[in-house]
Amino acid sequence: MKKASSLTEIGFSPDAKHHLFSPLPDAEPATRTSRHIKITVVGCGNVGMAIAQTILTQEIADEIALVDAQPNKLRGEMLDLQHAAAFLPRVKIASSTDYEITAGSDLAIITAGARQNPGETRLDLLQRNLAIFKKIVPPLAQYSPDCILLVVSNPVDVLTYITWKLSGFPPNRVIGSGTNLDSSRFRFLLADHLNVNAQDVQAYMVGEHGDSSVALWSSISVGGVPVISSLEKNDINLSPEMLEATRKAVIDSAYEVISLKGYTSWAIGYSVASLAFSLLRHQRRIHPVSLLAKGFYGIPEDREVFLSLPAQIGRGGILGVVNIHLTEEEAKRLRRSAETLWECQTQLGI
């Protein structure tokens, strides 16, 4: 008897993957890329440099271009990384305030943006960031028309929407870091309590990267074991108050880091580097990232909002959105999160 070399030969439907993932509307296929990988990082603050340093040490890129509005700090950061050349793989590191240096990028990561001033409304902050992004996104799109744009600046979901509008790119090539890090914090808390490795915990935070994010309790598993149903079978019930307190702890963990050291950097550096690796090495891994969510899980087609959903990513950007099962309460919270973001976007006038 001949040994089967694939599940298709055994009889599994070749269309199975189409039932697991849904494509984004108006998505475009990936363009061919050379083996030489170039990444641009816009914004050389704490977050931008943590991302650049992590990408550098994980051997993801052959070339890194740094862009910032402050020439002295920019050159200092570039030199500081270049001086580590003897301890790292050979990577070309360049910097400039001119976006021409970004030409031919495979991935452009945007971390620049305005911080909220005391007493400033969220809308005022968004308007200031809109003005900044109008100077960043068009030249990135001009010099690297085939790249993937990855937004990290906050508020990330609305700024990813702004980037999509300003770039004119298909939606699969405009992504926000979204709740990728929130989900890692969620997994850490669960793994710490259960005394397991966080990599063996599957748990997602979705929706807005912010206070209205949604914890998907119904799909949490550890080593393939569904957590909630397993606990219920053993007469261990988690009250809604306990679940909400845990969700709040995930959100508050970021604020705690900021209150203690003034900013977050290392975790977001690793989070974005993991996204860069999955995208540029075409890993087809699933990450909860901010994407054009209209039409998914009851979000109206006329709501062009970006929020986080588990998605398969690779060289073409968003390859498909996972058709994950949501409870009615989770779906309701997700739609509420989308409405919150839509209200902010409608006031921007773009």
Three-state SS string over 240-252 comes to HHHHHHHHHHHHH
- Whether the CB-CB separation of 341 and 305 falls below 8 Å is answered with yes
Ligand-binding annotation for 210, yes or no, is no
- Calculate the CA 18 to chain-centre distance: 23
Please say if 325 is a catalytic residue. Answer: no
Catalytic residue among 18, 36, 209, 287: 209
Of 269, 273, 299, whose CA–CA distance to 285 is shortest? 273
Ligand-binding annotation for 45, yes or no, is yes
Ligand-binding annotation for 48, yes or no, is yes
Ligand-binding annotation for 154, yes or no, is yes
Ligand-binding annotation for 157, yes or no, is no
Strands of the 221-222 sheet, one edge to the other: 201-202, 221-222, 225-226
- Whether the CB-CB separation of 324 and 216 falls below 8 Å is answered with yes
Ligand-binding annotation for 47, yes or no, is yes
Ligand-binding annotation for 129, yes or no, is yes
Distances (CA, A) of 66 to 32, 89, 93, 94, 304: 24, 18, 8, 6, 31
Between CA 129 and CA 141, with CA 135 as vertex, the angle to 5 degrees is 115
Annotated binding-site positions for NAD(+)? 43-48, 68, 129, 152-154
- Annotated binding-site residue numbers: 43-48, 68, 129, 152-154
Q: Known catalytic residues? A: 209
